[in-house]
């Protein structure tokens, strides 16, 4: 199989546009944050000591900017329409795509578009997998122990999800959000040995930067790849441990399993592809089970309008309350009593 991060793809144009929109959004937030900071510092200046003014202004500015920007998003229609959490979940099982390009959630049975994969440790027939064989260093406490990967990798192929109403293609390197299964049966260890013996690994330096580099490479594929064809296998340079001495874990997207995918619906490709919203590019997140399980996968589903309104109210209230405490002198008195 080929790595997807080095080739251009028409779908990357939308990702570039999304990045530009995301950059403009970040600049707008920074400008708003700076303006609120300056205004807040002037308001609290007569009431608090000079060395405290920047800290109080910064804390209140962050809270107020986050809260007010959330209210602005709600005013612009967040939580309503085809991209709302309620509509996405209601369409998930029928497979009804949105009327135009945008967020989509799909639930059904996973089926390969071509030949299926075979998971290297469990031997399960699947459309995607990721694995890791590692050991943990000794230490006087759990916090001092370190996880050291020796062999790790992933693979996936384009697949479809058979919903109640239609089949939906997924053309992406998915982010598998299920918890990894820990394997230790003799058959699993033997399959791990066979995999190590038959695989051409990319060697990675034994330091932390080497492992982090492979994580960034995988993330690059999940963000940019739109054909769903990928395989990468890495090994720690200079470490030839037998799998029987390692801890084995694997995450598998099994053929025939009920899965839920969240990503972006591409009207041009008629498929689920990596998301590209105003906040920047994202991934196709897949979990085994119904749509409700996406709640455990961070950022896979948009928040409800109600939860955004509650959060915005709390943040704005905290920011305004901090300014009020400073202006009324209560904050100065409280800090003085603590000294």
* 310 and 291 fall within a common domain: no
* 61 and 138 fall within a common domain: no
* 111 and 219 fall within a common domain: yes
* DSSP character string of 33-55: HHHHHHHHHHHHGGGS-TTTHHH
Q: With respect to residue 2, please indicate whether it lies within any of the assigned structural domains.
A: no
Would you tell me how many other CB atoms lie within 10 Å of the CB of residue 3? 16
* 160 and 181 fall within a common domain: yes
Cα–Cα dist 214/235, whole Å: 10
Higher pLDDT among residues 67 and 140, named by residue? 67
Q: With respect to residue 243, please indicate whether it lies within any of the assigned structural domains.
A: yes
Q: With respect to residue 44, please indicate whether it lies within any of the assigned structural domains.
A: yes
H/E run at residue 313: helix 305-328
H/E run at residue 57: helix 53-75
Q: With respect to residue 92, please indicate whether it lies within any of the assigned structural domains.
A: no
Q: Which residues are within 8 A (CB) of 239 and not within 5 positions of it... i.e. 6 or more apart?
A: 150, 206
* 218 and 74 fall within a common domain: no
Q: With respect to residue 45, please indicate whether it lies within any of the assigned structural domains.
A: yes
Cα–Cα dist 311/322, whole Å: 17
Instruction: Give me the mean pLDDT over the 157-164 stretch.
Output: 92
Q: With respect to residue 329, please indicate whether it lies within any of the assigned structural domains.
A: yes
* pLDDT at position 4: 37
Residue 63 clears pLDDT 80, i.e. is over it: yes
* 138 and 260 fall within a common domain: yes
Strand spans (E) along 137-226 = 147-156, 159-162, 167-170, 175-176, 181-183, 202-204
Cα–Cα dist 90/93, whole Å: 7
* pLDDT at position 300: 59
* 231 and 317 fall within a common domain: no
Cα–Cα dist 41/324, whole Å: 13
* 116 and 181 fall within a common domain: yes
Query: Pairing relation of β-strands 125-136 and 247-254?
Result: antiparallel
pLDDT band at 6 (very low <50, low <70, confident <90, very high): very low
Instruction: Give me the mean pLDDT over the 214-235 stretch.
Output: 79
* 190 and 255 fall within a common domain: yes
* 276 and 324 fall within a common domain: no
Q: What is the pLDDT of residues 25-57, one digit of tens each?
A: 678 778 888 999 999 999 988 888 888 889 999
Q: What is the pLDDT of residues 97-142, one digit of tens each?
A: 887 888 889 999 999 999 999 999 999 999 999 999 999 987 656 6
Higher pLDDT among residues 79 and 157, named by residue? 157
By residue range, what is the domain housing residue 270?
Answer: 103-296
* pLDDT at position 18: 46
* pLDDT at position 47: 86
Higher pLDDT among residues 181 and 95, named by residue? 181
* 259 and 328 fall within a common domain: no
pLDDT band at 19 (very low <50, low <70, confident <90, very high): very low
Cα–Cα dist 74/211, whole Å: 40
H/E run at residue 104: strand 102-112
Backbone angles phi, psi at 154, to 5 degrees: -155, 165
Cα–Cα dist 314/93, whole Å: 35
H/E run at residue 268: none
Counting the structural domains of the chain, the total is: 2
Q: With respect to residue 7, please indicate whether it lies within any of the assigned structural domains.
A: no
Cα–Cα dist 34/28, whole Å: 10
Mean pLDDT of the chain: 82
Q: What is the pLDDT of residues 254-297, one digit of tens each?
A: 999 999 999 888 988 899 998 655 444 478 999 999 888 887 55
* 114 and 219 fall within a common domain: yes
Strand spans (E) along 171-267 = 175-176, 181-183, 202-204, 230-236, 247-254, 258-266
Cα–Cα dist 334/326, whole Å: 10
Q: With respect to residue 6, please indicate whether it lies within any of the assigned structural domains.
A: no
Query: Pairing relation of β-strands 285-288 and 175-176?
Result: parallel
């Amino acid at each position: 199989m080929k790595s997807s991060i080095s080739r251009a793809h028409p779908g990357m144009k939308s990702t570039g546009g999304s990045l530009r929109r995301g950059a403009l959004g970040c600049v707008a937030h920074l400008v708003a944050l700076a303006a609120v900071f300056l205004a807040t510092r002037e308001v609290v200046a007569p009431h608090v000591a000079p060395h405290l003014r920047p800290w109080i202004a910064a804390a209140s500015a962050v809270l107020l900017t986050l809260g007010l920007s959330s209210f602005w998003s709600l005013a612009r229609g967040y939580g309503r329409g085809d991209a709302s959490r309620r509509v996405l979940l209601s369409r998930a099982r029928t497979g009804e795509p949105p009327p135009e390009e945008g967020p989509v959630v799909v639930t059904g049975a996973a089926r390969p578009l071509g030949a299926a994969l075979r998971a290297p440790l469990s031997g399960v027939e699947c459309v995607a997998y990721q694995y890791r064989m590692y050991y943990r260093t000794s230490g006087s406490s759990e916090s001092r122990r370190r996880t050291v990967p020796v062999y790790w990798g992933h693979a996936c192929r384009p697949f479809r999800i058979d919903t109640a109403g239609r089949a939906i293609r997924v053309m992406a390197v998915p982010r598998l959000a299920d918890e990894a299964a820990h394997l230790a049966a003799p058959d699993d260890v033997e399959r791990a040995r066979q995999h190590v013996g038959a695989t051409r690994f990319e060697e990675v330096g034994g330091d932390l930067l080497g492992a982090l580099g492979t994580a960034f490479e995988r993330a690059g594929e999940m963000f940019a790849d739109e054909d769903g064809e990928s395989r990468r296998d890495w090994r720690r340079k200079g470490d030839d441990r037998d799998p029987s001495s390692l801890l084995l874990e694997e995450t598998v997207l099994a053929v025939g399993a009920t899965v839920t995918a969240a990503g972006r619906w591409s009207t041009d490709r008629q498929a689920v592809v990596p998301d590209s919203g105003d906040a920047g590019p994202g991934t196709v997140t897949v979990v085994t089970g119904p749509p409700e399980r996406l709640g455990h996968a961070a950022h896979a589903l948009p928040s409800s309008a109600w939860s955004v309104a509650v959060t915005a109210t709390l943040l704005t209230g905290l920011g305004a309350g901090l300014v009020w405490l400073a202006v009324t002198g209560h904050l100065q008195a409280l800090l003085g009593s603590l000294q």
